[in-house]
A and B are shown apart, each in its own frame.
Chain A
Amino acid sequence: MRYSANAIVAVFLVLALGVEVHAQTSAAGGVVIEQPWARATPGGAKTGAAYMTVKNSGVSPDRLVSATTSVADKVQFHEERGENGVSRMQEVASVNAEPGAQIVFKPGGMHMMMVGLKQPLKEGQTFQMTLQFEKAGSIAVAVPVGKVGAMEHGNMGSKEHDHTMKK
């Protein structure tokens, strides 16, 4: 009895340490968030977009059910599909993450739309976003802000090259 109680404590300790160790990459319960970033918003824009990669390296399916941030009223998941030259945006209530799946939020594809921005997102700043998963629970993510119209995370240096999308 005593032995199993110790085991439970040990498990909790390991979990706590695990969370501590992985704070930088933002992971919980097999779900890993990689390369979060957002675009700086154009003048006066009340909406913004955040991008990242959600990986489920666990063995059971999970689901991203919501996201919140202090910089905006709400965060929606948008699927953007190009059909016959029409850019069509569609809000999706949640995003499934099957075991082994990798869901990429990127410009021109699925993105997190921040609605009702409380202040403009400025290049160089970082804001917090909390993702809520059905099983993994909540994962806090630090989101750095790149250039207006940037196509990818990082390489925020020279003006000439960072906004060209590599195909």
Chain B
Amino acid sequence: MNDKLYWAIAGLSALILAAFCVAAGLSFLFYPEPIAIEPQGITRLGTPAIGGPFTLVATDGQTVTDRTYRGKWLLIYFGYTSCPDACPTALNSMSVALEQLGSRADELQPLFVTIDPQRDSRDVVANYLTSFDSRIVGLTGSGDQIASMIKTYRLYVSREKPDSDGKDYSVSHSSFLYLMDPQGAFVSAIHSEATGDEIATRLRKEMAMARADR
């Protein structure tokens, strides 16, 4: 009798353990790895697999790939124009940072990539960006091109349930500015709630470190 109970408990425990393992395994599939925000000191252990080839369209109709701006640093913000709070904050801070960088900003190409290509056509993005620093290039593309970019940059993007009339929806998304070095390798992710000052300081530091490494 006791033996039976023992085996029943053991079996049940094994089952629960197995369920946990499966759940843990699956969670890796469904949630991108959280990106560690580095403290001011900046120490790095290896480079996460963020970034890679992409093909998108700039607001002026030109095709833009990951190679287009090789030789320049890239500062990329992913957002969408129907976002009234987080996206204007990020683009505004990016604009302030560019101003503060002065001539250093020439070594950098700031990009705004829409994660909502359905609503954000080239014209919509171009019009939106007139309110921010003119050096920020807006990129959009087909649904597939954007989906591929989202995957390459390991972004979290999730369209929320639309409201009652079904036409307005918001998109939850990763809120980082991605910094890529002139060779196209991922350097770091800066939280998009950082102020313009903080972003500029961070960029200066990263650029200086890269020069020291050479």
Contacts and interface: CB of A to CB of B under 8 A. Distances in A.
B81 A45 contact: yes
Contacts of B82: 45-47
B28 to A, nearest CB: 14
A116 interface: yes
B195 interface: yes
Interface residues of B, number: 41
B160 A163 contact: no
A148 B131 contact: yes
A42 interface: yes
A87 B92 contact: no
Contacts of A80: 85-86
Given A91-B163, A149-B91, A164-B197, A85 B172 contact: no
Residue among B124, B127, B129, B172 having the largest count of chain A Cβ atoms under 10 Å: B172
Given A85-B176, A88-B172, A167 B195 contact: yes
A149 B163 contact: no
A87 B86 contact: yes
Contacts of A165: 89, 193, 195
B160 A89 contact: yes
Interface in B165-199: 168, 170, 172-176, 189, 191-193, 195-197
A43 B130 contact: yes
Nearest to B125: A44
Contact of B196 (A46, A49, A78, A164): A164
A115 interface: yes
Nearest to A167: B195
B37 interface: yes
Nearest to A113: B84
A151 B174 CA distance: 20
Interface string A31-58: 0000000011111111111000000000
Contacts of B35: 85
B193 A44 contact: no
B84 A163 contact: no
A42 B81 contact: yes
Contacts of A164: 93, 96, 195-197
A145 B84 CA distance: 14
A151 B196 CA distance: 11
B175 A44 contact: no
Contacts of A48: 84
B130 A111 contact: no
B156 interface: yes
A52 to B, nearest CB: 14
Contacts of B91: 42, 149
A42 B131 contact: yes
B175 A86 contact: yes
Nearest to A111: B85
The 8 A-B residue pairs with the shortest CB-CB distance, nearest first, are A149-B92, A42-B131, A44-B127, A43-B127, A49-B84, A87-B175, A88-B172, A149-B88
16 contacts: A41-B131, A42-B130, A42-B131, A42-B132, A44-B81, A45-B82, A49-B84, A78-B170, A85-B35, A86-B175, A111-B84, A116-B168, A149-B88, A149-B93, A163-B93, A164-B197
Given A44-B124, A91-B163, A167-B195, 7 more contacts: A39-B88, A42-B88, A84-B156, A115-B168, A148-B88, A164-B93, A165-B89
